[in-house]
Structure 1
Amino acid sequence: MLEPTIRPRRLRATPAIRRQVCETRVHPNALILPVFVREGIDAPVDITSLPGVQQHTMDSLRKLANDSAEAGLGGIMLFGIPAERDACGSGATDPEGILNRAITAVAEEVGDALTVQADLCLDEFTDHGHCGVLDADGRVDNDATLARYAEMAVVQAQAGAQIIGMSGMMDGQITVAREALDAAGHQDAILLAYSAKYASAFYGPFREAVDSQLSGDRRSYQMDPGNRREGLHEVLLDIEEGADIVMVKPAMSYLDVLADAAAESIVPVWAYQVSGEFAMIEAAAQNGWIDRERAIDESIVSIKRAGADAVLTYFALEYARTLR
């Protein structure tokens, strides 16, 4: 019987050897925690479909921000849930609106320890739940929405946002935001482009988290899940428009798109492990079907391995603590 001379198993023999030859490692500063802040509540509210995740008050937000900084997270991405909504999402550009006040609170609390990031989109603020303003026929008006985005970008930068997450998937949004920020003296504000954002079923729990008013879907502006080349096309367009960072969302079902982006991008590439991906792991673990800790680690490592420089994940704080 011939014995093999090439034995890859040599490098898997012990934990020490496996650690030394590991190709992909995650550091806490590569993790970003999405956080929901809700107006009009006096205590944090549990989100049923996201076990362990809450809608926060301003006070609990400050504590969470400090906990995140202490754990070494790279940043916090803030989402605001207003008490009142209207057709144009006016609360998004109100300096005293819930999201803008939350930005300032986190910036004051931990702005030197991690990056203060804000979601720039209208869906949380509109009474119809779409990511832009609607035209007379009820369709999202791309160019009218751009004007709202430009105003939002400036207000968020004034509130203290260091990274502005352009998540609305409107054509030209990076250009108008960059121009508006520069004109207002915010040349240092960083634009994170949600470049390849797919119309995914995995956003379900997020709808509960932000009390979404959406009726219908967003397929006329978010991407078709079957399209891979288009994902890279969107990434390259956003880089051309001036994006400082590009994003693929969701992460786990789109690792091919993420790998394409990482191979071609000249700017950092991030990915978002979205609410449904988080919820599936939690649900399977609660039923005893998977090892929860190993599944969390494997899922985030796989996103990093595919090429993400940083990962937005609801597991960020817990996972960072295990890494440290």
Structure 2
Amino acid sequence: MNIAEQVLAGSRRALSKAITAVENEYDTAVDIMKALYPHTGRAHVIGITGAPGAGKSTLTDKLAKAYRRQGKTVGIIAIDPTSPFSGGAILGDRIRMVDLTMDEGVFIRSMGTRGSLGGLSRKTAEAVKILDAFGMDVVFVETVGVGQSEVDIVKAADTTIVVMVPGLGDDIQAIKAGILEIGDVFAINKADREGVDKLHVELDMMLDLNQEHTDWRPPVKRTVASRDEGVTELVETIGEHFEYLQTSGALTVRRRERTKNELLDLLDEEIGRKVMRHLQESGNFDNLVIQVEQREKDPYSVVREILHQVLR
């Protein structure tokens, strides 16, 4: 059996190998994804995003345990900052979820951002699909929490949870990062801290002013993840959101938009590869750079000329 067949047969080792293959762009990666693609689209993909220090990993850990108590299998992709030396993930969120690693119904993978904007590796979508094809009921994507480009999480998730904390100036961060537009559910974590009421009121006010959401008004829930408080209610709310997506037809719309973005990204990547190959084979690129630099040609005409040669 090849790796894809082993993944479909339930091999955790093959699952790990498949994610490594797409993450490192091995030659086998495309064939693996082609074989697994027809078996995707069943998992509920949940994005966990928010400011650094908000307790996203602890909350993800507690949510995963709550889903396990319901008998559901869980995949977790923790996006970590990337080591500038090895290219690997350096935070290792698995340290915070150590007891989950012993559970056969849970699979945790840390992935490096590899310099991609918003902390979401381009390969995250493929890793989600692999976990989906493997048969995971719920797949969490937990982001680094870097601010404005955090909105990238929307591209990978059905339900996006924005985690906030009292006392971090989150009200300002929410406006700045466009987080109001991306949150389906808001969780105020560390809700035993001072300032929780103020943050809750400000969030509610901003959500009322925000006209983006029509049928679904994002609820605000309070949690103290370290003590497992409010987690059951949060799971119920996530379930309600998924039910809303299914009954309203919004899930189909979201997933179609995601497919469109993935196709455009793949096209972008493939055209980029073809252009680079053409430039290497022609050996003319350095001359073109000199001509542009000396103002003999303009960069816009040169790019059109290259594309015309590649795509004709």
TM-score, structure 1 as length reference: 0.34
More helix by share: 2
TM-score normalised by L of structure 2:
0.35
Flag the structure with larger Rg: 2
